[in-house]
Amino acid sequence: MRSLKVLILEHNPFQLMALHQMFNAVGIYDVLTAPSLASAVCSLGHRGAVDIAICDPQLKGGDGLALIRHLALQREARALILLGAVASSLLNDLEPLLCEHGLRLLGCLQTPVSAVLMRGLLDNYLNALQQPDGA
């Protein structure tokens, strides 16, 4: 697996650990984990932009949406994976922001996350990078 830098925003410590281990299992070791918006922004400030950010846009307290806005406006991620049951109305609301700032939505995954589905999204991302016009 190509070297990727990933940021995971997840309030639940067990889910955060499971996602981190899932990435390690497929050979991705540069994984930033954050239990809150503040820690995610701090990690980005210290370690720089990421290839892929992962979060639930419907996290309590609005952390997920706030992170997505931050990533888009600051251009601190190239792609995004959404977790949880994401309402289609929310996706419709996010689409203009993502398009305007070049943040690619790789897909939405239900929790608990399937390692097979996650790997499929990662492979699609990497394949797109190898295309002559890949972003």
Average confidence score pLDDT of the chain: 93
Q: What percent of the chain has pLDDT over 70?
A: 96
pLDDT beyond 60 at 1: no
56: nearest Cα among 4, 22, 116, 15:
15
Strands 30-34 and 5-9: parallel
pLDDT beyond 80 at 132: no
CB neighbours (10 Å) of residue 79?
26
**φ/ψ (deg, to 5) at 126:** -65, -40
pLDDT beyond 70 at 134: no
pLDDT beyond 90 at 106: yes
Strands 50-55 and 5-9: parallel
Q: Is residue 27 left, alpha or beta, with left meaning phi > 0 and alpha meaning psi from -120 to 50?
A: left
Residue 7 tokens, joined? 């940021």
Q: Residue 5: pLDDT band by 50, 70, 90 thresholds?
A: very high
CA–CA separation, 111 vs 64, rounded Å? 15
CA–CA separation, 130 vs 58, rounded Å? 32
In this structure, are residues 54 and 83 in contact, taking their beta carbons and an 8 Å threshold? Answer: yes
* Whole-model pTM over 0.85: yes
State in words which class domain 5-130 has: alpha beta
| 44-60 pLDDT tens trace | 999 999 999 999 998 88
The reported pLDDT for the residue numbered 2 is: 65
pLDDT beyond 90 at 129: no
The reported pLDDT for the residue numbered 130 is: 86
The reported pLDDT for the residue numbered 66 is: 96
Residue 44 tokens, joined? 């980005």
Which sequence spans correspond to the domains of the chain? 5-130
pLDDT beyond 90 at 21: yes
